[in-house]
Amino acid sequence: MLRSYRWRRRFVWISAALILIAGLTVVALKAPERTPKAQGPSNVPVRVEKAPKPVRLTSRDEAAALRVASQFISSAVARKNLDRSWSLAAEELRSGLTRHEWDQGRLPVSPFSVGRKSWKFDYADSQGVGWTVTLYPARHSPQRAEDFQIGLHPLGSGERRHWVVDYWQAAPTGAAALSATPSGGGPAAAAPKAKESKAWLLLPLALLSSIVLIPIAVVGVNSYRAYRSRALMRR
């Protein structure tokens, strides 16, 4: 077979194909995994924050917090007497803003034409309280009724104890959008786990199979051609 020019040329092509397939197989096997491996233990201590403990909201605290929340909505959200809402907002809500910017309406609260309000209690814990409030637009307003979440926490003690608003946001429309509020209340949605596709594992198997199948196919084709040639010569 080595004396035949055709067979020598075929062996060259087969060798080149096998080298290429072997190289691709090595690359595929050395490819990094798509799913990151879990890191081993670290010497750096991990700080685990404890979840706030639920507490019983007294009628006095409930009335005081609702009064502040209602005043905040009537001022900051409805954009009426906006300067009054500055003292009702916590530092977390006023972060990065000056009093002048707040009074000019550049605050992290979207305006809403407030008509009437409907309250739904959400939580009360060691860090604060929260409600879901449904705002209905005023008459002749093109806006639709919308749900919002508001969170408050107390400051001071004794006679100086008062409530401030630390969170205001449109209520999520689905469970996947829920997140913990700054005052600690509300559920937090778990991030979906990424699923790894195992289809790429078939590549090394296909390449290894081709190393055996290609020579068999070439030998089979040439054997069939030789058989046909001998059959024709006998005729």
Q: Residue 169: beta bridge partners?
A: 149
Provide the pLDDT for residue 181: 41
Provide the pLDDT for residue 27: 67
CA 182 – CA 180 distance, rounded (Å): 7
Length of the chain in terms of residues written: 235
CATH number, domain containing residue 155: 3.10.450
List Cα–Cα distances, 6 to 13, 94, 215, 216, 220, in angstroms: 11, 83, 15, 17, 15
- The structural domain count of the chain equals 1
Provide the pLDDT for residue 77: 95
Residue 222 domain-assigned (yes or no): no
Residue 63 domain-assigned (yes or no): yes
Provide the pLDDT for residue 175: 39
Residue 180 domain-assigned (yes or no): no
Residue 208 domain-assigned (yes or no): no
Residue 217 domain-assigned (yes or no): no
- pLDDT averaged per 10 residues, the chain (length 235): 64 74 69 53 64 89 95 94 94 92 92 93 94 93 93 92 94 51 41 49 63 67 70 69
Residue 82 domain-assigned (yes or no): yes
Residue 86: count of CB within 10 angstroms of its CB: 15
Provide the pLDDT for residue 193: 44
Domain span holding position 117:
59-172
DSSP 130: E
Residue 26 domain-assigned (yes or no): no
Residue 201 domain-assigned (yes or no): no
Q: Quick check: helix, strand or coil at residue 146?
A: strand
Provide the pLDDT for residue 150: 96
